[in-house]
Amino acid sequence: MMMMMEHASSVLLEMVTAARQVDPGEPGFWREFLVGMLKPLAATAVVAMAVALSFTQRLALEGEMLYAIARSFLQLSVIGFVLQFIFTQKNVLWILLAYLFMVTVAGITAGQRAKQVPRGKYIACASILVGTSITMFLLVVLQVFPFTPRYIIPVAGMMVGNAMTVTGVTMKKLREDVKIQRNLVETALALGATPRQATLQQVKRSLVIALSPVIDNAKTVGLIALPGAMTGLIMGGASPLEAIQLQIVVMNMLMGASTVSSILSTYLCWPAFFTKAFQLNEKVFVD
């Protein structure tokens, strides 16, 4: 297993080393960049088709579609230059800043999904930070990836994005289930159960619902569609056998980070759901 991971890492390292390093200060850089952007612009033709269909079907989604595409175009362009800058710095501080920025945005997004959970954004940030950092630490210690921007930032981004979705769903479903089964929870509390014991059934259900897509994705990976990491390696020149090695690592790390983050979020939700007297907080369960 270790040999497989080291080989996948070495393959990726060779591809990165062989890749042409571009510098915005080089002569002709901006001309090449603008010429290269013609293909993404040409790909907007399929968006025009979607907009036309929305108009003919009177879905009223044309404006939202155009806004979403324009925003993604701008965001990715800016991120490309930011990553280019970070990669050339080769400084650990920039890696940490980029990672914390991703965690912050993910925590805010997950908190908005579970906006009725008090301090939901902070709970989500803490859960995502702990889950992804533990997973990343293990990957670095096991020498699966070296601690460099070109590895850590993309890998961390995949883990943070996945943990964001799972954590948001977990918190939202946990609150909803506790509210629906409020009588059962209050009865358990009256019989002397702790908040954890009283909500154990709801916690399990919320975790199962949140983690099911991650598990299903792992079960069907490669059978329905080729995953992003594997596709990127193949398009970059790696053989399919080399690409699957890295993709296995990616699936494992997504499973680990998502599970830790979602479970931790349930523990952090209890202080928000209950008072110091171990009673349900009335304000939390009022829509």
205 within some domain: yes
One domain for residues 158 and 47:
no
In a domain, 23, yes or no: no
Burial code (b: 16+ CB inside 10 Å, e: under 16) for 91-107 equals eeebbeebbeebbeebb
Domain span including residue 60: 37-89
Rounded (10°) CA dihedral 166, 167, 171, 174: 40
Q: Is residue 212 part of a domain?
A: yes
Inside any domain, residue 30: no
**Statement to judge: residues 81 and 178 lie in one domain:** no
- Helices 149-180 and 62-89, packing angle to 10 deg: 140
Count Cα neighbours of 189 within 13 Å in the Cβ-side half-sphere.
19
Asked which of 29, 61, 89 is the last residue of a domain, the reply is: 89
Same domain, 175 and 76: no
Statement to judge: residues 213 and 259 lie in one domain: yes
Looking at the structure, tell me whether residues 84 and 204 fall in a common domain: no
| Predicted local distance difference test score (pLDDT) of residue 14 | 52
End-of-domain residue from the set 63, 89, 115: 89
Q: Note whether 246 and 202 are within 8 A (CB).
A: no
The angle that helices 149-180 and 92-113 make with each other, rounded to 10 degrees, is 20
178 lies in the same domain as 274: yes
Is the residue at 65 inside a domain?
yes
Structural element, H or E, at residue 35 = helix 29-36
Residue 25 placed within a domain: no
Both 70 and 140 in one domain: the answer is no
Q: Has residue 22 been placed in a domain?
A: no
- The total number of structural domains that make up the chain: 2
Does residue 163 sit in the same domain as residue 278?
yes
CB 15 within 8 A of CB 239: no
Query: Which three-class secondary structure state does DSSP give residue 280?
Result: strand
45 and 181: one domain?
no
| C-alpha 227 chain-centroid distance | 14
Number of continuous H segments (helices) and E segments (strands) in the chain: 13, 0
* Consecutive 10-residue averages of pLDDT for the chain (287 residues): 48 48 67 84 92 95 95 91 85 91 96 91 97 96 88 92 96 93 91 90 96 93 81 83 88 96 95 86 78
Q: Are residues 58 and 135 in the same domain?
A: no
CA atoms within 13 A on the CB side of 196: 6
Are residues 6 and 120 both part of a single domain?
A: yes
pLDDT of residue 4: 45
Residue 32: inside a domain: no
Whole-angstrom distance, CA of residue 149 vs CA of residue 168: 27
| pTM listed for this prediction | 0.82
| ∠ CA 137-226-5, rounded to 5° | 35
Same domain, 85 and 103: no
